Amino acid sequence: MTEPQQIVIKTPWYQIAAKAWGPETGAKVLAVHGWLDNAASFDLLAPLLPDLRLVAIDLPGHGLSSHRAPGVAYHFVDYVADVIAVADGLGWDRFSFISHSLGAGVSSFVSAVQPERIERLVMIDGLGPYSADPAKAPEQLTRSIMQMSGLADKCAPVYPDLNTMIEARVRVGDLGHASARCLVERNSQACEEGMRWTTDPRLTLASPVYLTEEQVLAHLSAIQAPALLINADQGTISRREGIELRYAAVANLQVKTLPGGHHLHMETAEPVAEEIRAFWG
């Protein structure tokens, strides 16, 4: 089955929109996308993994899922609880992850705090969340509060048509037109003036607080599942300072590097799928 099912998963807090591929009897896999992307991030990869029951979600504030309540920020750690609630809503006691960027950070933390539920962990150009110097925490919180306070005065951009939105996404970089179209079609809706984004504008605000690197390493050290990290040679992870310490923290980690940019699972899906199939055995 290459055409996905459109489903909605109810959690105690939100309605989470998702796309599901593959047979109900297949290995259960939760696919989690990157920042400002959505479930369509896996449109090109999922059909290449036909034996898996792959459910790709829209994180809160993204795609077709609920936004957080007014005045509430998007903290990284809250996504961890959101994803656990999704697995509960699906009735999955044990499952695996295929995840990208922000989603890879979230899935690594879910794997750390509920290791008994995770069978396999695949991360694409992402390993744990961004961390920061704790001495800069007051400055970071100040910037976040100021941006949140000023959000009401900002006007959301409006585009004349879908193609203009796709061109805008392509100009940001890293994605060709076909991949950008997948994401934009799920992240946009019509309005009286034309087209606008459905993503919550609060997603672009500065985070109120970041974890320290020591906290990130502690969570990575708690992962028990076999893990695969697929890096892009032109991506963001392999060039990050101190990344070797993160590699070493995950007890059962394979690291593979493939040609491509940050969204290599969309731009060159087949080599990524080949690595995942080999990892699944």
pTM summary value: 0.96
Out of 101, 108, 111, 179, the active site residue is 101
Gap between the Cα atoms of 167 and 262, Å rounded? 18
Cβ-contact 100, 32 below 8 angstroms:
yes
Per-residue pLDDT of the chain in tens (281 residues, 90 and over written 9): 468 999 999 999 999 999 999 999 999 999 999 999 999 999 999 999 999 999 999 999 999 999 999 888 899 999 999 999 999 999 999 999 999 999 999 999 999 999 999 999 999 999 999 999 999 999 999 999 999 988 877 778 899 999 999 999 999 988 999 999 999 999 999 998 899 999 999 999 999 999 999 999 999 999 999 999 999 999 988 778 889 999 999 999 999 999 999 999 999 999 999 999 999 98
Residue 149 is a catalytic residue: no
SS3 category, 95: strand
Taking alpha carbons only, the member of 272, 250, 253 closest to residue 261 is 272
Question: How much is the pLDDT for 226?
Answer: 98
Q: Map out the domains of the chain as residue ranges.
A: 5-132+210-280
The DSSP output letter for 163 is H
For residue 264, give every residue at least 6 positions away whose Cβ sits within 8 Å of its Cβ, in sequence order, or none.
Answer: 124, 125, 230, 232, 235, 258, 271, 272
Choose which CATH entry (3.40.50.300, 2.70.180.20, 3.40.50.1820, 3.20.190.10) describes domain 5-132+210-280: 3.40.50.1820
Question: How much is the pLDDT for 2?
Answer: 66
Question: How much is the pLDDT for 250?
Answer: 98
